[in-house]
Structure 1
Amino acid sequence: MNIDKVFKALADINRRTLLDQLYLKNGQTLHELVQHLDISRQAVTKHLTILAEANLVIEVRRGREKLHYLNSAPIGDIYNRWISKYNHHRMEVLDDMKHQLEEENDE
């Protein structure tokens, strides 16, 4: 996985909107996705290409249509590599604070 491509893809609000739309209803056509953005069909196609290159969107042909599916695995990888370790520290701090408050209440 090329993490730089994932971050580049997530940096644009239009691409995040596309991912949000696919999260709400997976397997949409280009025609369906265009309706959620105030940009041209060609611009949406370019954004979908960037998302596909980052492996965030998988395209599947169904007859003459191309369906777009969300692939959340790269986002999960980001969570596992960076976010979760910071979240773990925060949970430890909250747990310590809870124990400290319980000890104060016991006194």
Structure 2
Amino acid sequence: MNGLIGLWAGGAGALGASGAVLGWVARASGRMHHTGEVVERIERLLEPEGDAPGLGERLRALESGQRRIEAQLKPNGGASARDAINRLEAGLRDVAARLPPTPPP
């Protein structure tokens, strides 16, 4: 009789443990399915759709524009916006030096 109770108890324990494992597997597969959906969404963003460029192409265009803007902020011998600002500042200094001093109030 004791052996039969032990057998039932062992079977119930094994059944409970396998239920817990199956529950964990079900939850894990649900998370994996969600992860797969996220990966698919990211892949769709990377690919061009119709006339719209994909994310990779958009990032390359942004980086290219950033490089062009940065180039304008550095003096390069006369052609950059920084060179034009430097010329304007020098011209204003020359004009200010030619003006008569302002009398005190």
TM range (shorter): 0.3 to 0.5
Of Structure 1 and Structure 2, the greater strand share is in 1
- The TM-score normalised by the length of structure 1 is 0.33
Of Structure 1 and Structure 2, the greater helix share is in 2
Higher RCO structure, 1 or 2 (CA under 8 Å, sep 6+): 1
